[in-house]
Structure 1
Amino acid sequence: MGSIRIKGLGKAYRQYPTHWSRLAEWVLPWGRPRHQLRWVLKDINIQVYPGEALGIVGVNGAGKSTLLKMITGTTQPSTGTIEIEGRVAALLELGMGFHPEFTGRQNVFMAGQLLGLSIEELRQLMPDIESFAEIGEYMDQPVRTYSSGMQMRLAFSVATARRPDILIVDEALSVGDAYFQHKSFGRIRDFRRSGTTLLIVSHDRQAIQTICDRAVLLNHGQLALEGAPEEVMDFFSAMIAEREQNTIRQEQLADNRIRTISGTGEASIAGVALLNEEGKPVDVIETGAPITLQVTVDINRDIERLVLGFMIKDRMGQAIYGINTHRINRPLENLRAGEQVVYRYSFNADIGKGNYSVALSLSRLDSHLDKNYEWRDFALVFHVINTRKPDFVGCASLDATLEIKHHQHIAEGVATDALSD
């Protein structure tokens, strides 16, 4: 199994005010420096343990791709060290190592050798590569005739033709169609179960939270946060929504989970409760029971439009159900400072047993990315039990009904159940 240890890693590029400055420094190397250093990454310390899956997130320009390139050796660090144990396979830039005039089959041999595979190994693996890529006759066509999705299919198939000790995947998978994305992540999960160490860069919250054990957030070239995937993704979502006068803060709950709260504060959540049929607050409910989510909102400054949304998430942070007042055409308009609004969403808890949390959003339109008054993760945590229905598996209670028709077997014109001694 592979491991990665990164200590004090940094990458800086030289910036020159003019082309003449670059020339002067080259011609007169003993003279004064004529450049300034622009640090893309600075003081990065990360330990990735054998068999662990680490997600790397951050806005564009945060340094994610530069970090992966240094780990794979395509870019050299300015400071710090990287220690790697095990064979690395990387899928960074789409079609990296492919020659557009060569066929897919020829490119497999070239790209495969860059990954350390021999010609004989690639010949043996070729049927599996073709089968997984599913590009048919295009395998023997020039790569310049490929769509971006086809290039990704072939690149992923080559990179994962043999299970590596360490697999590094950048955003390239986002190019493919839904079918191949599902197929690719299935192979990644299989590798994980077999002990492959995984580094994955993605903006896909579901991918990070379902695959990764841990996540790190890069911001302006520095390590801004490290922790559980859900905690990091919550903070990242809040950071994306940040605007002028926005604040982001995190609170530790009684069960040690981290709650992220962000927003401008023009409207804020004053209270939230889950009510049973009698209108009493509860934190344990029965599958299928009618419940009401009550949210009290304070209006702190005049607001032209207010939308309340909620999302129920399972213990892994995956969305189970979400809705807001914009989507049901019930926004409130022209609210004044000092007002208070009480919302009550009523529904049946048709979900499976387990722990769930509720995230709340106060915004101007459909998304809190437009105007975020307040976004609050773990606004409420509740537990679902099932003592009245069959013990089903999964997160949705569909109440499937069953009909069975048992037909008698007819042989040579005689019903079997009509035979007797």
Structure 2
Amino acid sequence: MGNIVVSNVSKAYKRYPNKWARMLEWITGRHQHKKAWVLRDINFTIEPGEAVGIVGINGAGKSTLLKIITGTTQPTTGSVRVDGRVAALLELGMGFHADFTGRQNAYMTGQLLGYSVHEIDVLMPRIEAFADIGDYIDQPLRMYSSGMQVRLAFAVSTATRPDVLIVDEALSVGDAAFQRKCFRRIQEYKEAGTTLLFVSHDTETVKKICDRAIFVNGGIISKIGKARSVCDAYERLLFGVAVNTNESKNEIVPIYDATLVSKSVEVQYGSRGAEITNVSILDAEGAVTNIIPEGHPISVNYDVGFNESADCVNFGMMVKSVDGVCVYATNANANIQNSKKSFQSGESARVRFSLQGNLVPGTYYLNVGVTKEGLEKEEMLHRRVDVLIFRVVSAHPYSSNGFANLFGNVEVKKK
């Protein structure tokens, strides 16, 4: 149980030139449409208990493929065989009714998954405990946030261990703590023998929890194999091109990814006695970047304009993880060669922190700030929280986890 076999699957949708063409085709029997192929000749087999990730840009055909595997969409050609009970978390809240309460939706979705009413009665305390939405369980779904909806959907879909668990990007909506809770359950089911099919843009998560990965690009399988090598190929497409540095090694050239936008999450505060502007991350050649190969040097730069005179000024920066953990923080006065400086109103400063990018692959957030000494404590003149988002991508053959890249060398000798 838990076997998935996808054989020669292709999917096309009809594309009509105008709103009348469909009716004309129905009346005359003559084709008025063109076929838009979103998947072409997809073939792969997933063994029971295997964890496989699917990666690819938006529009590559990943979600269509999952819908075909779960049976909600039929392929134009080819076939799919799935053995065992399937739990699928695809589009957010798919199958939920906005006017039903969370409890009613749980019963309705549970029955669609094949549970009897009695079985759902037994499982309901487990569902409520995992979703952890409190009294909202008896409120209409239209009152839920997107995060609450995904909590309930995941709790219902995984109330018992399925033979096959299929998870699309829906988990990215939940908060960091709930994501951790979900991944613990996924790991628990995986270890118990559940087959996992996991779609995500977060390649580091795919590498950590999946044995193999499939790179779907333009409706075809571009690469299939070990998760790390497939994710590296996907990252090269997204973030840079491979450049031959010697005969045996490829290196990722850092570039700027315009989709890493921090505007919606940035927070600013302080007395505004100074103003921080022009925050940037530069690579070793001085080019603006937010995609950094693991271990490569970078610099954090920003300008500060002073709106009022300030004595004993200090400049700082901090790097945080996605879930808000401080990965590294420092300030100008941490370097004993820097004396505390004073500035007059109207003056400005250029700040530069030179760093070695010893972070493991993942997504990180940059904070910057400027303070001055007050009578009792430092006064925050201006702080910009999550001002930039940047991503560290793999540039080494070995696997690393955590935050810091401490790798130097490994020596193993027989005693």
- TM-score bracket, shorter-length normalisation: 0.5 to 0.7
Q: What SS class does the counterpart of residue 25 from structure 2 fall into?
A: helix
Task: Deviation per CA, 1:156-188: give whole Å up to 9, x if none.
Answer: 000000100000000000000111000000000
Task: Report the alpha carbon displacement of residue 204 of structure 1 after superposing the two structures with TM.
Answer: 1.3
Aligned residue number for residue 327 of structure 1: 300
Structure 1 residue 305 and structure 2 residue 303: aligned? no
Q: Contact 1:307 / 1:324 at 8 angstroms: preserved in 2?
A: no
Consecutive unaligned residues of structure 2, counting only runs of 5 or more, are 256-283, 303-353, 362-387, 399-406
Q: Contact 2:214 / 2:221 at 8 angstroms: preserved in 1?
A: yes
Q: What SS class does the counterpart of residue 325 from structure 1 fall into?
A: strand
Q: Among 205, 208, 226, which residue is 2:206 paired with? A: 208
Task: Deviation per CA, 1:239-289: give whole Å up to 9, x if none.
Answer: 1125xxxx44799998xxxx6545499xxxxxxxxxxxxxxxxxxxxxxxx
| Separation of aligned partners in 1, 2:162 and 2:111 | 14
Q: How does 1:61-76 map to 2 (within 5 A)?
A: 61-76=59-74
Task: Report the alpha carbon displacement of residue 323 of structure 1 after superposing the two structures with TM.
Answer: 6.2
Q: How does 1:7-18 map to 2 (within 5 A)?
A: 7-18=7-18
Q: Contact 1:239 / 1:248 at 8 angstroms: preserved in 2?
A: no
Aligned residue number for residue 285 of structure 1: none
Consecutive unaligned residues of structure 1, counting only runs of 5 or more, are 266-296, 298-302, 313-321, 330-343, 358-365, 370-374, 388-421
Aligned residue number for residue 221 of structure 1: 219
Structure 1 residue 43 and structure 2 residue 41: aligned? yes
Aligned residue number for residue 384 of structure 1: 410
Aligned residue number for residue 178 of structure 1: 176
Aligned length: 302
Task: Report the alpha carbon displacement of residue 20 of structure 1 after superposing the two structures with TM.
Answer: 2.4
Task: Report the alpha carbon displacement of residue 328 of structure 1 after superposing the two structures with TM.
Answer: 6.9
| Separation of aligned partners in 2, 1:238 and 1:263 | 9
RMSD: 3.6
| Separation of aligned partners in 1, 2:389 and 2:244 | 21
Q: Contact 2:10 / 2:38 at 8 angstroms: preserved in 1?
A: yes
Q: What SS class does the counterpart of residue 25 from structure 1 fall into?
A: helix
Task: Deviation per CA, 1:82-136: give whole Å up to 9, x if none.
Answer: 0111110000011111111111111110000111111110000001001111111
Aligned residue number for residue 54 of structure 1: 52
Q: 1:144 to 1:109 in 2, by over 3 A?
A: same
Q: 1:96 to 1:376 in 2, by over 3 A?
A: closer
Q: Contact 2:298 / 2:355 at 8 angstroms: preserved in 1?
A: no
Q: 1:306 to 1:122 in 2, by over 3 A?
A: closer
Question: Residue 111 of structure 1 aligns to which amino acid in structure 2?
Answer: T
| Separation of aligned partners in 1, 2:167 and 2:85 | 14
Aligned residue number for residue 361 of structure 1: none
Q: Contact 1:238 / 1:260 at 8 angstroms: preserved in 2?
A: no
Q: How does 1:138-287 map to 2 (within 5 A)?
A: 138-242=136-240, 247-248=241-242, 261-263=251-253
Aligned residue number for residue 2 of structure 1: 2
Larger radius of gyration: 1
Task: Report the alpha carbon displacement of residue 305 of structure 1 after superposing the two structures with TM.
Answer: 3.4
**Percent identity of the aligned residues?**
48
Q: 1:346 to 1:190 in 2, by over 3 A?
A: closer
Q: What SS class does the counterpart of residue 378 from structure 1 fall into?
A: coil
Q: 1:111 to 1:308 in 2, by over 3 A?
A: closer
Q: Contact 2:8 / 2:77 at 8 angstroms: preserved in 1?
A: yes
| Separation of aligned partners in 1, 2:105 and 2:8 | 37
Question: Residue 206 of structure 1 aligns to which amino acid in structure 2?
Answer: E
Q: Could you tell me the TM-score, scaled by structure 1's length?
A: 0.64
Aligned residue number for residue 276 of structure 1: none
Aligned residue number for residue 112 of structure 1: 110
Q: Could you tell me the TM-score, scaled by structure 2's length?
A: 0.65
Q: Contact 1:56 / 1:216 at 8 angstroms: preserved in 2?
A: yes
Aligned residue number for residue 291 of structure 1: none
| Separation of aligned partners in 2, 1:252 and 1:114 | 56
| Separation of aligned partners in 1, 2:397 and 2:190 | 33
Task: Deviation per CA, 1:209-237: give whole Å up to 9, x if none.
Answer: 11100001111111011111111111111
Q: 1:376 to 1:36 in 2, by over 3 A?
A: same
Q: 1:307 to 1:221 in 2, by over 3 A?
A: closer
Task: Deviation per CA, 1:41-90: give whole Å up to 9, x if none.
Answer: 01100111110000000000000000000000000000111011111000
